[in-house]
Amino acid sequence: MMRRITMYDVAKEAGVSQAAVSKIFSRKDPWVSQATRQRVLDAAEKLGYRQNYHARLLRTGKTHCLGLMGNLSGFALDNYVYTKTSRGIEDELHGSASPYSLLMFGANWGEGYGKSLQLIERGMVDGLIWILLATFIEEFEREVAPWLRTRNVPFVVVHSLSKRAFAYPNVGTDCYAGAYEMTRHLASTGRKRIGIYLTGPNSPQSQEICAGYKQALADLALPSGRELLLHEAPQADQGKDHLFEIAYRTAKALPKQALPEAVFAGIDCAAYGFLKAFRERGLRVPEDIAVAGFDDEVNSRYAYPELTTVYHPFREKGREAVRMLVGLLDGPLREDPVPQKIVKPSLMVRKTCGAETKA
């Protein structure tokens, strides 16, 4: 079995003391000459030396690793919420030449999370980024946040709200503003009866979307009756069906005389369900009825017709979460007052609303 290369071996190869090697690797060497530094680095490369993680942790008290976890279990959209946000996190870490690396513990809190918590408690990471669906906020604050605080683990939560007060560092999205602007846009195309479909009408995010929608209707003096809240339309038991199927059945069940002039769905995959159902019912989109979604997930630009939607800035939120957490760990940020960043969504105007494609 090959023997592990140590700092002693590097020191011997470079012709310096072991203490000098330690200081160079820990960057506590402002007076060492560049020639000596390079000689040590060359020796380490030649011998294949790798710093011992645990030794570095004991020496510096830092791992230079950020952890990533999530409360997304049981949701059909957990895939792109997690992957898009984590992509933004990785973009920020790599693009800024940050000394931090990312350690992913998983998207689904509750599925084997005990092992992850043990690693966190042992100091595997310096801080955590937590991707949190709005429906899991109360559970997180009841079960997770106190655990992190008692163990002094710095953390930042990434969520999709803007109107709620948080007691911990967080990055959110102004879904209210996104819904408000989309409703006004649909009205600008000549539609007066604009319906809204929410996959979870009682979730905090859906409530913010609905509030933005209703405020836009009120500002424009457009109808806002109960019949336009399409999530209350008859539909089969939801069970574990995909959000697409639930929206599809809802659209198929809508009485013809109750159809609005436009449908604003609170998530893109539900908008796809409406598109399929309307096509089967012989309704033309956008000529007979307009359809819009929310999130701008990857398939929205490939739908037929191309889906008008609200761009949800998942990647931007990931980048902001890294900046905030690193600021708490290394920079001037403090937890009092509570750091918060709300990232603005934007409209992606495509074919399903009757407008020209912009993106």
> With a threshold of 0.75, does the pTM exceed it?
yes
List, in order, residues 6 or more apart from 22 with CB less than 8 Å away.
Answer: 7, 59
How far apart CA 34 and CA 11 sit, in angstroms, is 16
How far apart CA 77 and CA 4 sit, in angstroms, is 45
Query: In the prediction, which pLDDT does 358 show?
Result: 47
Fold (CATH) for 65-174+314-344: Rossmann fold (3.40.50)
How far apart CA 78 and CA 160 sit, in angstroms, is 13
List, in order, residues 6 or more apart from 277 with CB less than 8 Å away.
Answer: 247, 248, 249, 250, 251, 252
Rounded (to 5) percent helix, strand, coil in the chain: 45, 15, 40
Query: In the prediction, which pLDDT does 222 show?
Result: 97
Query: In the prediction, which pLDDT does 3 show?
Result: 62
Residue ranges, comma separated, of all CATH 1.10.260.40 domains in the chain are: 7-60
Tokens of 202: 């009682």
Q: Which of 3.40.50.720, 1.50.10.100, 1.10.260.40, 3.30.465.10 would CATH assign to domain 7-60?
A: 1.10.260.40
Helix (H) or strand (E) run with residue 273 in it: helix 268-280
CATH of domain 175-311+347-353: 3.40.50.2300
The sheet with strand 308-311 has its strands ordered as 194-197, 262-265, 290-295, 308-311, 346-348
Q: Are strands 170-173 and 155-158 parallel, antiparallel or unpaired?
A: parallel
Cα-based distances in Å from 352 to 75, 272, 312: 26, 11, 18
Asked whether 263 and 230 are in contact (CB, 8 A), the reply is yes
Query: In the prediction, which pLDDT does 50 show?
Result: 67
Residue 69: strand pairing partners: 106, 130
Residues of the chain with pLDDT under 70: 1-3, 26-30, 50-61, 73-79, 96, 110-112, 232-241, 356-359
Query: In the prediction, which pLDDT does 241 show?
Result: 59
3-state SS of 119-135? HHHCCCCCEEEEEECHH
Residue ranges, comma separated, of all CATH 3.40.50.2300 domains in the chain are: 65-174+314-344, 175-311+347-353
Q: In 105-264, which ranges are continuous DSSP H helix?
A: 113-121, 137-139, 145-150, 175-188, 204-219, 243-253
Query: In the prediction, which pLDDT does 104 show?
Result: 87
